[in-house]
Structure 1
């Protein structure tokens, strides 16, 4: 199976203990308001990025994991 330029999604599955940091990362990644970012971070699993490149989705997952959240890796 070849991935090519298939669009990927970023999906956090658990916010973790440092909720404030996760909300800030979600806000930075999406550009949404603080309130909407908090809603996305608390109502997991939620798709926060839709149709991004594999590298973009992997970077988002890495940023979320760095602050303690659990997130799914993008797949082909």
Structure 2
């Protein structure tokens, strides 16, 4: 049983260990960069939300104008 444990520990010292270490390094870098990406996107999202609200208001205004114009048309 101890021999198999020793063999498993040497497995991480080889090629698999290099891949695990590289994966953990990439994961640490991404975890460090994540908050900067989130806060960088926040301003853009606020701008998009504001523009979307303006567009929705314009569409509602156009719809009201269209309904008013249809009501003013002579009977069909």
Settle same-fold status: TM greater than 0.5. Answer: no
Question: Please, what TM-score do these two structures have when normalized by structure 1?
Answer: 0.23
Q: Whose strand fraction is larger, Structure 1's or Structure 2's?
A: 1
Q: Which has a greater percent of helix? A: 2
Taking structure 2 as the reference length, what is the TM-score of the superposition?
Answer: 0.23
